[in-house]
A and B are shown apart, each in its own frame.
Chain A
Amino acid sequence: MSNPGVRPPLVELTLARVRELVREPEALFWVFVFPILLAGVLGLAFRSRPPEPLPVAIVAGTEAKSRLSALSEDPELDPRLLSEKEAQQALRRGGVVLVVSDDPVPEYTFDPVQPESRAARLAVDAALQRAAGRNDVFEAARSEVTEPGARYVDFLVPGLLGMNLMGTGMWGIGFSLVVARNGNLLKRFVAAPVRRSHLLAAQLLSRLIFLVPEAGALLLFAWLFLDVPVRGSWLLLALVSLLGALTFSGLGLLTAARPRTIEGVSGIMNFVMVPMWIGSGIFFSTDRFPAAAQPFIQALPLTALNDALRAVMLEGAGPAPLLPELAILVLWGVVTFALALKVFRWQ
């Protein structure tokens, strides 16, 4: 065999994929710029700031004046005098979170489902009781938490990283395979003396090459400009990201195993990803879902990935407490790969 200057097929196949991605400006935007923009914008929108005082209404009448001055004492309350009708209307529209009646013994009208309403009830009641002569038995000391790691943006960044690993893993692999199948390129490869395992391995390798700048850009931006901490080891964080990327590559391979058209694969992709966008704790905690939904939500690969990323970044967790999450990721990865190889349509 004389093959001077010819690189191995796996290297050429991987290079081809990397070149394709680098030459696609839209792909670069979604992979690199979009997560950073999102982190920046959401970090700005949900930046830490002094809590807004709670708006409450006092129904005008004989008691109103003394109650207004009592409630004004509390900086966490924003009381206003309104007529009975105006007060009810403001409550319905969310302008105030609680209405104090003009009865000698006041009646509080509020929505017990809303945390703000419940907080307002406690604060209003305490202020009125105190004004009526109640003496507090003790005054507890206040200790406010504002350190990095407990803010919304700290919660958000690991979630965005997980979302990005899912998105690029699935689209990056799924799209290129379906385009190649649709354009007879897969068939043309099969007609050549190249191993099918090399064709798929090149997809994974190019994916992993992109993982480094992709995860690195977001983390570096968050670390430098948003003060998001990485309390655990960077190596462990890299390994969790790697595992996540591989898991979603498997899922991407499976969704792209059969469809012949972009429309077909897009439908399946969305079907797979939308539940995880909503349920896997990217933007808000998975605790918001009812207990009945938890087994399903905890079994999703993105939930496991996000939990593991947050544990490493925010809690400084070592590998041992992550084992359940890592096991879920490995299981998803192995099962989807095996299934994908079994049902893969080459032409």
Chain B
Amino acid sequence: MSTQPGTLALSCRGLVKRYGDVVAVDGLDLEVSRGECFGMLGPNGAGKTTTIEILEGLSIPDAGEMEVLGERWRGDGLSLRARLGVQLQETKFPEKLTVREVLTLFRSFYPDGPAVEETLGLVALQEKANARVGTLSGGQKQRLSLACALAGDPELLFLDEPTTGLDPQARRQAWEIVEGLKARARTIMLTTHYMEEAARLCDRVAVVDHGHVIALGTPRGLVASLVAEHVVEFAVETEDDLDEGALRGLPTVEGVSRDGAAWRLTVRQVHRAVPALLTALTARGLEPSHLTTHHATLEDVFLSLTGRSLRDE
């Protein structure tokens, strides 16, 4: 079972999954190449987990076609499962077992794979090998979960929200592990609602909302697709004299939105928009209590596509 570069690791077309009246996945198409790290980025409830669980063969779609590593899901799919590594969003491993015992258990399920000690090394858990699962931190548990996904040396690795709920340090550590896996040309499909994560780890990103893909491309390409690649945010105490129309007329401003006293402009050219903005505010006797500018991110891509923030819950 050698990895053939250039061929598809995963593809699906017109995937649909309903739960009663709720349509969780609504005609979703994806193609992931071998050796690629592919990300599904979207807010909670966008249908990412449902999609990834359909692809993992854990859930049966109501409609749509899919192929995983050139196979379709049939029966219990044991032979296909042996070629996949799966990390669910949250798995509670038995608290009384040690890290090594859990990993040994998962290793026994696979016909082939690295030695347990080697996998422990990959996720930096050698020192915790004899610790009970119940004593592990959140980040360590997540790394154990990743180790179990790697137990069978998978051709394709599914990671569902691998860093949700982790503190920044643990998140960075998890990213380094995934980057190490990428360096070995392993195919990875991950879901996330952190745009930094998608931008840092993924070769390509599908932005998912309401159960279908609304944008697809490299992280850099998606940002570049925005007409206005810069964001200016400021706040003013009184906003009586300030209206959207006035701001929209400023040079190179493409979009205006506000949340109470906080305003947000998307602009093409910061050096032209900001002086004009300050002049306009001064003319109205207003002084911004806060002013920042940044290059647009995937977060801004999502905002410009949906009008909502990724983490709007």
The interface residues of chain A lying within 8 Å CB-to-CB of B109 are 9, 192-194
Q: For the complex, what is the distance from the CA of A124 to the CA of B93, rounded to whole Å? A: 71
**Please, which residue of chain A has its CB at the minimum distance from the CB of B56?**
A191
- Any B CB within 8 A of the CB of A103: no
Q: For the complex, what is the distance from the CA of A48 to the CA of B108, rounded to whole Å? A: 56
Q: A12-B104, A12-B105, A16-B97 are in contact. Are A2 and B112 (CB under 8 A)?
A: yes
Q: For the complex, what is the distance from the CA of A195 to the CA of B82, rounded to whole Å? A: 12
- Any A CB within 8 A of the CB of B79: yes
- Any B CB within 8 A of the CB of A227: no
B165 to chain A, nearest CB (A): 14
Give the contact stretch, choosing among B61-69, B84-92, B166-174, B175-183.
B84-92
The 8 closest A-B pairs by CB, nearest first: A183-B92, A193-B81, A193-B82, A191-B86, A23-B96, A12-B108, A194-B109, A192-B109
Q: A16-B94, A187-B88 are in contact. Are A9 and B56 (CB under 8 A)?
A: no
- Any A CB within 8 A of the CB of B76: yes
Q: For the complex, what is the distance from the CA of A186 to the CA of B56, rounded to whole Å? A: 14
Number of interface residues of B (CB under 8 A): 32
Q: For the complex, what is the distance from the CA of A196 to the CA of B78, rounded to whole Å? A: 10
Pairwise interchain contact A185-B93, C-beta atoms closer than 8 A = yes
Interface class of chain B by DSSP? loop
Pairwise interchain contact A3-B81, C-beta atoms closer than 8 A = no
Q: For the complex, what is the distance from the CA of A133 to the CA of B243, rounded to whole Å? A: 122
Q: For the complex, what is the distance from the CA of A23 to the CA of B97, rounded to whole Å? A: 9
- B contact set with A: CB distance below 8 Å: 56-58, 76, 78-79, 81-82, 84, 86, 88-94, 96-97, 101-102, 104-112, 148, 152
**Please, which residue of chain B has its CB at the minimum distance from the CB of A176?**
B94
Task: Name 16 A/B residue pairs within 8 A (Cβ), A-sorted.
Answer: A1-B112, A3-B111, A6-B107, A9-B109, A11-B108, A19-B96, A20-B94, A20-B96, A23-B96, A24-B96, A183-B91, A188-B86, A191-B56, A193-B81, A195-B78, A196-B76
Pairwise interchain contact A184-B92, C-beta atoms closer than 8 A = yes
Q: For the complex, what is the distance from the CA of A185 to the CA of B89, rounded to whole Å? A: 11
The interface residues of chain A lying within 8 Å CB-to-CB of B102 are 16
- Any B CB within 8 A of the CB of A150: no
Pairwise interchain contact A191-B81, C-beta atoms closer than 8 A = yes
- Any B CB within 8 A of the CB of A190: yes
Q: A19-B96, A23-B96, A192-B106 are in contact. Are A185 and B79 (CB under 8 A)?
A: no
The interface residues of chain B lying within 8 Å CB-to-CB of A23 are 96
The interface residues of chain A lying within 8 Å CB-to-CB of B58 are 187, 190-191, 347
The interface residues of chain B lying within 8 Å CB-to-CB of A190 are 58
In the complex, which of the residues A13, A187, A347 has the most CB atoms of chain B within 10 Å of its own CB atom?
A187
Q: Which among B57, B82, B108 is the interface contact of A7 at CB below 8 angstroms?
A: B108
A6 to chain B, nearest CB (A): 5
**Please, which residue of chain B has its CB at the minimum distance from the CB of A10?**
B108
